[in-house]
Structure 1
Amino acid sequence: MSTIAKFKPGVQTPVLPFWKSALLMPSVGPLVVLLLFCLFFAFTTEHFLTPRNLSLVMQQSVILGALAIGQTLVILTAGIDLAAGGITVLAMVIIGRFALEGLDPALCILLALAVAIVLGAVSGTLVSRLRLPPFIVTLGLLGIVTAATRLLSMGNSYPIENDLAAFFGNGFTLSGARVTYGMLALLGLYAAVAFALHETWWGRHVYAVGNSPAAARLVGINVPRILLSVYVVAGLIYAFAAWLALGRIPSADPNALQTANLDSITAAVIGGASLFGGRGGVIGTLIGTLIIAVLRNGLTLRGIDPLWQDLVTGVLVILAVAADQLYRRRW
């Protein structure tokens, strides 16, 4: 008999046991994978569980973790954003160049935020109003922002010498572990977006649009407005990721974050976000980000070639998509 019972008037729909409901959560599988990786590297390397190394794993997760939040929001609407890394690098160069030329750093950061929001609004408008495929729109935007970054930077990188621009690289030491403000800001950002997705009407509408735009329209949801808002919020997050990156990277380099687009998609997919939309969340994305960071850190400690890191990550992505497909067919 099917686990999901059909509703009949006067008949109470059976409720799944807690443990079955927990197993059906998209983030449970990635969490198990993360714990297994941690156990494996804890027993096979000498320094993996040291406070200093665990702090390093978290610091390495800051930039990717922020980018993956914006990517997850887009994926929840059954889209994909290939310009995430490009927008972030453009924002980094805007802050780095104009701050070095004497403009107030606060204005530089606000300018970068404004540019990223405009770029997100352009993507959102083309996707929501003209109904162009997100893949094509963001691929074209990636080419535009990459060229704009090269023109603005003139091929140069700009050292970060201002305290405000590099603020998120500062921090304090706790029990032998380095805790940066960027790590705390990232966790706060995840908490805020998770709350917005699960406790507000906007978040419920995002999931509804991702599940079925046609059904969302029938219940009165303004689908174009929701799509536009998602891309605008994603652009804002990408600019914030640029500010976080300047605390981690000592210069605004136009050639930085070469694999950021694919890495952010990887983190979201490994974390349980469905490329078909409507399933997943930022908590799973955080776990996916940590899986990538732990995997790379652990393999580096074992002295394994970085190419194997990419190979294992690719296998995890394929397995995650396959698991999502099986889930959709089953339920």
Structure 2
Amino acid sequence: MSNSDTSALRPPAASPPPAGPGPQPPALSLPGRIQRLLHTHAILGPAAVLVIAVVAFSLVADNFLLPGNISLILQQTAVVGTLAVGQTLIILTAGIDLSVGAVMVLCSMVMARASAEAGLPGPVALLAGFACGTACGLLNGALVTRLNLPPFIVTLGAMNIYFALNLWISRSETVLGTDMSPLLMWTGEVFRIGQTSVTYGSVLMLALVTVLAYTLKMTAWGRHVYATGDDAEAARLSGIRTKRVLLGVYTLAGLIYAVGAWVLIGRVGSASPQAGLTENLDSITAVVLGGTSLFGGRGLVVGTLVGALIVGICRNGLSLAGVEVLWQNFAVGVLVIIAVALDQWIRRAKA
């Protein structure tokens, strides 16, 4: 009998036993599940804080939810929210801008002086302010990208420069709204939704949030911004021109700060060289509370809007509760520290 015949008579070899299940990862604890959830859905944390703040202050102050007070919160949020949109772009690239308030006030004085003293038409005065903000942002970006200086140091020095230019241009004098073009006051005009008055400045802020949210999510430039903030060297090696991205981010942020100046003029009804003293802290607080990481590469503009609402609600609610401005600033500072600590905890979540 041949070998082929004998092999046909052999019983089939037994199949190997199925491999047992491998080691299973340990089940996550409740804090671990919350950490992973917040890491995956960055908007959930800010939304929860917003709901808690609304409920808490509605219990503390009886008039908190009245239409007139809601309108006031929206007006207050319009300025901070607009500035925070520009701040979000910079923080997404792992930078920070301390010159936010100074640029805004400088642009507001340029607009006001161009209209009230130089007699320029409203659109021209508005464009002059926009050009001023864009130039300030371009200067910040050039110093960061061309000289490789840290954004913190650049914007800290720029803040003092812009405040000095503001005092020089304004001569420490306030320009009344009655002396300016009606176009500069347009952002303070209101229309009604039910019993609540809404300013056009608030609508302008929402338009900015919508445009920037779409741009960051749906365009190549937006993906380059996230990549640059997440790991600039890896982004550069993949072909992204990171310095050009950074320069564009700072320049666009400066233009957005000029839009914030327009909103501020309408909100206050004048252009004051002393306005915007707390906007640096409030804009950074809004961005961080909105879930954007100070380490770059993670965050949403919509979250920044929620963060701006939280800041506005906290300041308004504390004011209604009789808390002095001193302690309102104290509370906002505490919120910043808590938000940064929470961000570091969330970033440690395992993918």
> TM-score, normalization: structure 2?
0.87
* Alignment partner of 1:139 out of 136, 156, 162: 156
The structure-2 alpha-carbon separation of the partners of 1:20 and 1:328, relative to structure 1 and needing over 3 Å to count, comes to closer
Q: What does residue range 225-244 of structure 1 map to in structure 2 within 5 Å?
A: 225-244=244-263
1:156 aligns to what? Answer: 173
Q: Relative to structure 1, is the Cα distance of residues 35 and 181 closer, same or farther in structure 2, using a 3 angstrom cutoff?
A: same
Higher alpha-carbon Rg:
2
Which residue pairs with 1:116 in the alignment? Answer: 133
Distance 1:65 1:125, change over 3 A: same
Task: Give the 5 Å matches for 1:254-293.
Answer: 254-293=273-312
Residue 165 in structure 1 maps to residue 184 in structure 2: yes
Q: Which runs of 4+ in 1 moved over 4 A?
A: 19-23
Task: Tell me, in whole angstroms, the C-alpha distance in 1 between the residues paired with 2:326 and 2:53.
Answer: 18
CA contact under 8 A between 2:80 and 2:279: conserved in structure 1?
Answer: yes
Q: CA RMSD in A?
A: 1.7
Which runs of structure 2 are paired with 1:33-52 in the superposition (5 Å)?
33-52=49-68
Query: For each residue in 1:213-261, what CA deviation from the matched residue of structure 2 results, as whole angstroms up to 9, or x when unmatched?
Result: 0110111100000000000110010001101111101211111111111
Aligned mates of 2:316, 2:70 — CA distance in 1:
9
2:81–2:205 contact (8 Å) kept in structure 1: yes
Q: CA deviation at 1:304?
A: 2.2
Whether the 8 Å CA contact 2:36–2:349 is kept in 1: the answer is no
Tell me how far 1:23 sits from its aligned partner.
Answer: 6.3
What does residue 25 of structure 1 align with?
41
2:230 corresponds to 1:211 = yes
Which one of 288, 293, 303 corresponds to residue 322 of structure 2? 303
In the alignment, the residues of structure 1 paired with residue 172 and residue 330 of structure 2 have an alpha-carbon distance, to the nearest angstrom, of 31
Retained in 1: the 8 A contact 2:39–2:349? no
Distance 2:163 2:324 in 1: 29
Q: Which amino acid is 1:147 matched to?
A: A
* Percentage of pairs with the same residue: 46
Whole-Å Cα distance in 2 between the matches of residues 194 and 2 of structure 1?
A: 36
Measure how far apart 1:273 and its partner are.
1.3
* Gaps in structure 2 of 5+ consecutive residues: 1-23, 27-32
Structure 1 distance, partners of 2:207, 2:157, is 32
Matched, 1:326 2:345: yes
C-alpha deviations, 1:5-50, integer Å up to 9, x for none? xxxxxxxxxxxx9x96576322211110110010112223211112
Aligned residues: 317
* Greater Cα shift, 201-210 or 138-147: 138-147
Equivalent-residue separation in structure 2 for 1:180 and 1:299 (angstroms):
23
What are the ranges of 5 or more consecutive residues in structure 1 without an aligned counterpart? 4-16
Separation in 2, partners of 1:45, 1:154: 41
Deviations 1:177-206 (A, max 9, x none): 111111111111111111111111111100
**What residue in structure 1 maps to residue 9 of structure 2?**
none
Greater mean deviation of Cα atoms: 60-69 or 21-30? 21-30
Deviates more, 1:93-102 or 1:295-304: 295-304
